[in-house]
Structure 1
Amino acid sequence: MRNPTLHDVARAAGVSYSTADRVLNRRGGVAEKSVLRVQHAIDELGYQRDIHAANLSRRRSYVFRFYLPQGDHSFFTVLRQVVEAQAAQRLAERMQIQIHDVPPLDADALAAELSRIEAGDCDCVGIIGSDSGALTAAVERLQAMRIPVVTLVSDAAVEARMLYVGIDNVAAGRTAGRLLRLAHGRGPGRVLPILGALASRDHRDRLKGAHEVLTEPGRHLHLLPPIEVQDRSDILRQKLAAMLAADPQITGIYSIGAGNRALIAMLRDMPTPRPFVVLHELTAHTRAALEADLIDAVIDQNPDVEITLALQAMKAIADELPATPPEVNPTIYLRDNLPR
């Protein structure tokens, strides 16, 4: 059985094809009673619009903007490369993808950049942000201008954004906690969390997940207070060195953020046996650290998949189609299962 066409809708509503088309595309100039007849015919026939064909006929193009943290940060460098590659590939689909730089872990600076956007500048915005009133207000302003916002990697401005595309960070933290627990067997241990900023929802959620697993009754693991390093190498070196000197019994390290170069460099100089180390994101540096047996496990959120799903969601939102949160499943990499 063939799908109903717009000609079928026009015939059932008793109007011309051009009138049905005007109603469908919300171009106005149609009497209210005709609008109601067309809408009733659409519902009765189960007509579904072919968005792709409609966009081709109208030569529709899209403008999507990504606001990405800048700086010497391996994961965000990989993420940027993925977005740049997608930008080149999607030109044939009439999709213009723009990248704007923002300081890492600075929600107010991101809010200031978003405030520069004016109505009609783009169809949808993708951001990586932290919780702040200024950011929520900036996202609410964009929504009021009919420019939806999608959050990536870490959810933020939950009350105002349209959709979150990323891994379940509580589950990721629980996974890290489970790996650390397995590494300790049933013996005692002291686990040190390192995070970028508690203002980042993904860091808070991962810490929460790890805490849930590591502090379950009957275990002899102690989760130490996290050190907050703002994803800065100098702060990490200073705080981690002080913590290791003050507590030489640390047996596990969970690096919750993704700025791991300084940590890896410090692990290289640690005496053996070193702590069991779990961190996030497979980059050139974390791959090399796994291969050199400086760390034990990497939880990767698959940035290629994440950006592909984000673009699919952004296009659906721009086409006014339903967009449900896509499922992004992280991968656990050990020294033995690294991809080529």
Structure 2
Amino acid sequence: MASPTLTDVAEAAGVSYATADRVINKRGNVAAKSIAKVNEAVAALGYVRNIAAANLSRGRVYRLAFLIPQGPNAFFARIRQHIKDTADRLQAERVHVDVIEVAAFAVEGLQASIASLIDKDFDGVAIVGLQSDALIQPLEQLRAKGVAVVGLVSDLPQDNRLAYIGIDNRVAGRTAARMIGMAHAGGKGSIQTFVGSMDARDHAERFSGFCEVIATDFPDITVRDPIITNDDAAILKSRTATILGDRSNLTALYNVGAGNSGLIEALRASAPQRPFCVVHELVSHSRQALLDRQIDLVIDQRPDVEINRVFTVLRTLIDGNALPVLPDLVPTIYVQDNLPADTLTDQMKAQDR
């Protein structure tokens, strides 16, 4: 049986097509009695509004902005590539995207970048967030303009955004702890941790979840104070080399954030008998390090899935619809034996030729 059309709704309600269209698309200037009749007809017929057609008829353009940390971080290079690919695919649906790069872990820089959007004509914004009260005012100003704001990967202050798209980072940290604890097979140990910044909610939550599991389930393993790296590969390389030169019962390494290329370089130059090592995000250098047995495990948050969800969520919010219940984004654990095809790296290399 064919789905009911707007013509069917108009006939059932006893109103003109134009009136039914104004009610369905919330254009106003319709009598309350007619609105009630149209809504009753919609419910009775099971009519579902064709948002794409409605947007096309009124020339709707989705203007989206993504605020992404700048720099050579390979994970955010993946994010940028997925944004570009998705935006290219959605051009026919009038989706326009700007990627705005901001300094990593810089609260003032992020505050200024958010504030700069207030006078621009964006419908929706996705922001890799930090936890700071300094962000509240510009976020509130954006939302007061009717801009849909969501946190991406690392959350914003929760009362000042409409949704968060990313994994549960506390769970990701707990997973890393479980894997490292199991690798110790009941023995004692000492873990050196690295954190990009505690101002980044994803890093703080991963570290907190990690420490919870080690303290509760592996009490014979010590977690050393984290080394703050700002996700700088050079810092990771230097500090890891120093630590490996003075083993002092070191049994494991866990990097909460990025900069893993530096960590891997230091491990590559170290003695064959290295500590157990867990990092986040499957990118070209962490993938190769798994294959070369320089690290043991990668926890990946599937940025392709996250970016697809961001576009869906922003467009739903902009259209004024309630968000559906979405399944949790679950991180994927990779070892050298279950690596997927490296299609994204091949694609990016091809574009560079």
The answer to whether the 8 Å contact 1:66/1:127 transfers is: yes
Greater CA deviation, 297-306 or 323-332? Answer: 323-332
Mapped partners of 2:84, 2:50: distance in 1: 29
**Structure 2 counterparts to residues 277-292 of structure 1, below 5 A:** 277-292=277-292
Which residue number in structure 2 is paired with residue 209 of structure 1? 209
Which residue number in structure 2 is paired with residue 327 of structure 1? 328
Structure-2 change in CA distance of 1:314 and 1:7 (3 Å): same
Report how far residue 7 of structure 1 moved.
Answer: 2.9
Which residue number in structure 2 is paired with residue 166 of structure 1? 166
Report how far residue 262 of structure 1 moved.
Answer: 1.3
Please, which runs of 5 or more residues in structure 1 have no aligned partner?
none
**Structure 2 counterparts to residues 163-312 of structure 1, below 5 A:** 163-217=163-217, 219-241=219-241, 243-244=243-244, 248-312=248-312
What amino acid does structure 2 have at the position aligned with 1:332? I
**Structure 2 counterparts to residues 24-173 of structure 1, below 5 A:** 24-118=24-118, 121-173=121-173
Q: SS of 2:161's equivalent?
A: coil
Deviations 1:251-287 (A, max 9, x none): 1111010221111111112223211000000111111
Report how far residue 161 of structure 1 moved.
Answer: 0.7
The answer to whether the 8 Å contact 2:236/2:260 transfers is: no
Mapped partners of 1:308, 1:41: distance in 2: 34
Mapped partners of 1:236, 1:274: distance in 2: 16
Report how far residue 47 of structure 1 moved.
Answer: 3.0
The answer to whether the 8 Å contact 1:255/1:280 transfers is: yes
The answer to whether the 8 Å contact 1:124/1:147 transfers is: yes
Please, which runs of 5 or more residues in structure 2 have no aligned partner?
342-353
Q: SS of 1:138's equivalent?
A: helix
The answer to whether the 8 Å contact 2:118/2:141 transfers is: no
Cα root mean square deviation, aligned: 2.1
Deviations 1:78-121 (A, max 9, x none): 21112122222221222112111111112321221121224661
Equivalent pairs: percent with the same residue?
43
Greater CA deviation, 126-135 or 42-51? Answer: 42-51
Greater CA deviation, 81-90 or 43-52? Answer: 43-52
Q: SS of 2:90's equivalent?
A: helix
Report how far residue 56 of structure 1 moved.
Answer: 3.0
Q: SS of 1:191's equivalent?
A: strand
Mapped partners of 2:30, 2:138: distance in 1: 36
What amino acid does structure 2 have at the position aligned with 1:331? T
Which residue number in structure 2 is paired with residue 17 of structure 1? 17
The answer to whether the 8 Å contact 1:163/1:325 transfers is: no
The answer to whether the 8 Å contact 1:139/1:157 transfers is: no
Greater CA deviation, 203-212 or 189-198? Answer: 203-212
Report how far residue 45 of structure 1 moved.
Answer: 4.2
What amino acid does structure 1 have at the position aligned with 2:296? D
What amino acid does structure 2 have at the position aligned with 1:31? A
Q: SS of 2:160's equivalent?
A: coil
Greater CA deviation, 11-20 or 313-322? Answer: 11-20
Q: SS of 1:66's equivalent?
A: strand
Deviations 1:298-324 (A, max 9, x none): 111111111112111112112222224
Structure-2 change in CA distance of 1:278 and 1:218 (3 Å): closer
Mapped partners of 1:287, 1:218: distance in 2: 28
Report how far residue 218 of structure 1 moved.
Answer: 6.0
Greater CA deviation, 249-258 or 7-16? Answer: 7-16
Mapped partners of 1:313, 1:290: distance in 2: 34
Mapped partners of 2:90, 2:296: distance in 1: 37
The answer to whether the 8 Å contact 1:236/1:262 transfers is: yes
Report how far residue 12 of structure 1 moved.
Answer: 3.8
Q: State the TM-score, normalized to the length of structure 1.
A: 0.92
Deviations 1:23-72 (A, max 9, x none): 22222222333334433443454432121222233343211111111111
What amino acid does structure 2 have at the position aligned with 1:335? Q
Greater CA deviation, 43-52 or 156-165? Answer: 43-52
Mapped partners of 1:144, 1:266: distance in 2: 49
The answer to whether the 8 Å contact 1:255/1:278 transfers is: yes
What amino acid does structure 1 have at the position aligned with 2:328? E
The answer to whether the 8 Å contact 1:229/1:235 transfers is: yes
The answer to whether the 8 Å contact 2:167/2:301 transfers is: yes
Which residue number in structure 2 is paired with residue 316 of structure 1? 316
Mapped partners of 2:218, 2:20: distance in 1: 68
Q: SS of 1:98's equivalent?
A: strand
Mapped partners of 1:295, 1:130: distance in 2: 29
Q: State the TM-score, normalized to the length of structure 2.
A: 0.89
